[in-house]
Amino acid sequence: MKRSIDPVSVGLKVWTVAMLAFLCIPIVIVVAWSFNTANFLVFWETWGLRWWRTAFDNESLRDSVRTSFVVAALSTVIAVVIGGFGGIALARRPGRWVVPFLVLLFLVLVTPEIVDAISYLLWFTRLRLDDGLLRLAISHSVFGSAIIAFVVRARLAGLDNSIEDAAADLGATPTRTLRTIILPLAAPGLFAGALLSFTMSLDNVIVSSFVKTTDTVTFPVYALGSLRTGGPKGDLAVAGTMFLMLTLVSLFTATYALRRAGGSSREIVGALAAE
């Protein structure tokens, strides 16, 4: 007997393939054009490693990449401390304060970046904070703190409160319970959230453009400035490809850490999506 074709099923498959292509083709183009030997990326010349060999001979590009990594590391440390304890409190100390705090975290995530950028600029100007690295790290850590808080909350949400009660019955103080039980259990979530915060800091453009100083230009801001002052060169595609590779490694590492901690596929996706 001939098998009937379900048009709805076929249509959904075609739509899925089209959506994946729509999302992935720009990324593939950036990677491919990093091997373009032309002077500018407005046309294709031939395959080669010209820009991979010379990309970091550009001192401005090299400094911007270094600044991006330093800022990402500093902001991640701040975000882990603030967001980590926030996520633990949300999961282990429920109360009337939880709903307003969750609303605040959601506002941090959904507020347009241009609004945040203007607010940070006015705030830092009023405080007379002129250290560019500190300005960037603080502003990036706000968003990262919200991400980490949700990831840690998702990690600890399913744990039984009787664990802490048992520790208290055995004479453990709240501080020791936090240090020996809660933090080790939250560690995979903290690690995954830290990786997400780190990668999100690396590609921040709008906030960085407003709060940077002349000697602390991050790579996204440098790339944007290069497009404005001249044609896009292959070194931008090379740096973009390296940032992409770092992001993929971070996501795979976070997934591996959550998997090793016993999380299911659904829990891992939810944690990485900050749900």
Q: Residue 86: which H helix or E strand, with range? A: helix 59-92
Q: Picking from 81-90, 171-180, 230-239, 265-274, which range would have the lowest pLDDT averaged per residue?
A: 265-274
Confidence of residue 275 (pLDDT cuts 50, 70, 90): very low
Span 24-47, average pLDDT: 81
Of 108, 80, 89, the residue nearest 156 (C-alpha): 89
Of residues 49 and 144, the one with the higher pLDDT is 144
Span 231-240, average pLDDT: 77
Span 242-265, average pLDDT: 73
Give the domain ranges of the chain. Answer: 56-272
pLDDT by residue (tens digit) across 153-197? 887 876 766 777 677 777 777 778 777 888 888 887 888 888 888
What pLDDT, on the 0 to 100 scale, is given for residue 136? 94
Span 57-70, average pLDDT: 86
Of 31, 42, 77, the residue nearest 230 (C-alpha): 42
What pLDDT, on the 0 to 100 scale, is given for residue 265? 60
Question: Exposure string (b/e) for 224-258, b if CB count within 10 Å is 16 or more?
Answer: bebeeeeeebbbbbbbbbbbeebbeebeeebbebb
Of 86, 112, 111, the residue nearest 186 (C-alpha): 86
What pLDDT, on the 0 to 100 scale, is given for residue 231? 64
Q: Which CATH number fits domain 56-272: 1.10.3720.10, 3.40.50.1980, 2.60.40.420, 3.30.70.270?
A: 1.10.3720.10
Confidence of residue 94 (pLDDT cuts 50, 70, 90): confident
Span 242-246, average pLDDT: 82
pTM: 0.78
